[in-house]
Amino acid sequence: MKENNKKIQSATAVILAVFVLAFSCAFFLMEKKEFSESENRYLSAFPEFSAETLKNGDFMEGVQTYLADHFPCRDMFMGLKAEAEIAAGKREINGIYIADDGYLIEAYKAPKNTEKIVGNFRKFYEAVKDEDVSVSLLLVPTASVIYAEKLPSFAQEPDQLGEREAIYARSGLPRIDCYGALMDKKDEMQLYYRTDHHWTSYGAYAAYTAYCEQTGIEPVMLEDLVAKEVSADFRGTIYSKLNDGRMGKDTITVFENPENQLTVFYTDTKETTDSLYNFEYLEKKDKYSLFLDNLHSLIEITNETADSERELVLIKDSYANSMVPFLVNHFKKIYVFDTRYYKQGPSSFIKEHPEVT
């Protein structure tokens, strides 16, 4: 019996050694990717060494992140881990709630740089308020607020709405409140994707109607637009944090006004098109990027058939990409800024373009 146990122990040790050696070789030999398409993010690079980073721990922390990001078969092991934890009854994994009705809802994290954000809002408003332009701020609640009833009972979410109110108050900007519109439509439409952190086109439309109501614009009715289901197998950023293949898929619907005559110019790539959508992204993992061709520093959109001569400057994150198809109906020209990439300053741009309303 002892001899058999020794053989089993020896065989186990050999198997483990071979396993560790194989993965070590795979790690060093395999090509290191800069970007993870499944997670839609850039992977960490090997950290630069210095006495200071070694002393303060940044170097070793960077090495650990690098090893985790480039571990062989990382996506597969993430999926296996998620499957095992869900089978064991867990409803919160890696900051993701396994919510009701097939929703994966990301736990809300309070912004760490609120003071800087509020300060930038205030500076911007002070810079342009004498330029004869109407300025407003729209803060979008996440799915964890709108679909709070779908969260597990143990979920303890920060007071996102309270933080939102504080930012509105301290920024001094006139507010556009879309919370009520989203709550009114939550039982009629799917407002957020089940596997992605963005809202759907229906969520964007609900916020668009709130914007119109609070700025005196007559919104276009949804039934007057052409709806197209362009994908039924979208798995977004939240799914990618679990990689559990048993999770469902989302449908992406886009809306178009056939009467619009659009010219869309991407200033960074110098490309011009007549569509607000780049359908080539439907062949990729990051299908949401079909809206406005993903991320650009500045996009100039002209609509020759808009219902006014107004011109809009839109300073936004990626949520607004799926709202622009509704806004174009009311503005002769829209300048779309992503200030993560546009460094010249939208306030200077507005001063140089007195036609902006």
pLDDT in tens, 266-275: 999 999 999 9
Q: What is the pLDDT of residue 189?
A: 96
Confidence of residue 219 (pLDDT cuts 50, 70, 90): very high
Q: What is the pLDDT of residue 129?
A: 86
* Range in 40-54, 201-215, 340-354 the model is least confident about: 40-54
Question: CA Rg, the chain, in Å?
Answer: 24
Higher-pLDDT residue of 225 and 71 is 225
Torsion of CA 255, 176, 297, 307, to 10 degrees: 50
Report the C-alpha gap between 351 and 357 in whole angstroms: 11
Confidence of residue 343 (pLDDT cuts 50, 70, 90): confident
Q: Which residues pair with 312 in a beta bridge?
A: 334
85 secondary structure, DSSP code: H
Burial string for 134-166 (b: 16+ CB within 10 Å, else e) reads eeebbbbbbbbbbbeebbeeebeeeebeeebee
75-124: per-residue pLDDT in tens?
Answer: 555 555 555 666 566 888 888 999 999 999 999 988 788 899 899 999 99
Cα–Cα distance list, 129 to 23, 163, 181, 201, 217 (Å): 60, 25, 27, 31, 21
60-76: per-residue pLDDT in tens?
Answer: 776 667 666 555 555 55
3-class DSSP assignment, residue 199: strand
Mean pLDDT of 147-166: 94
Is the pLDDT at 263 greater than 70? The verdict is yes
Q: What is the pLDDT of residue 69?
A: 59
Mean pLDDT of 13-34: 57
Confidence of residue 309 (pLDDT cuts 50, 70, 90): very high
pTM: 0.80
Q: Find the length of the chain.
A: 357
- Edge to edge, the sheet with strand 298-303 lists 271-273, 262-266, 298-303, 333-337, 311-315
33-59: per-residue pLDDT in tens?
Answer: 655 555 555 566 667 777 777 667 777
- Looking from the CA of 139 toward its CB, the CA atoms found within 13 Å total 18
The overall average pLDDT reported for the chain is 86
User: What are the tokens at 291?
Assistant: 């809206």
Kindly provide the residue ranges of all beta strands, DSSP E only, lying in 133-225, ordered along the sequence.
Answer: 137-138, 175-176
* Range in 126-130, 174-178, 196-200 the model is least confident about: 126-130
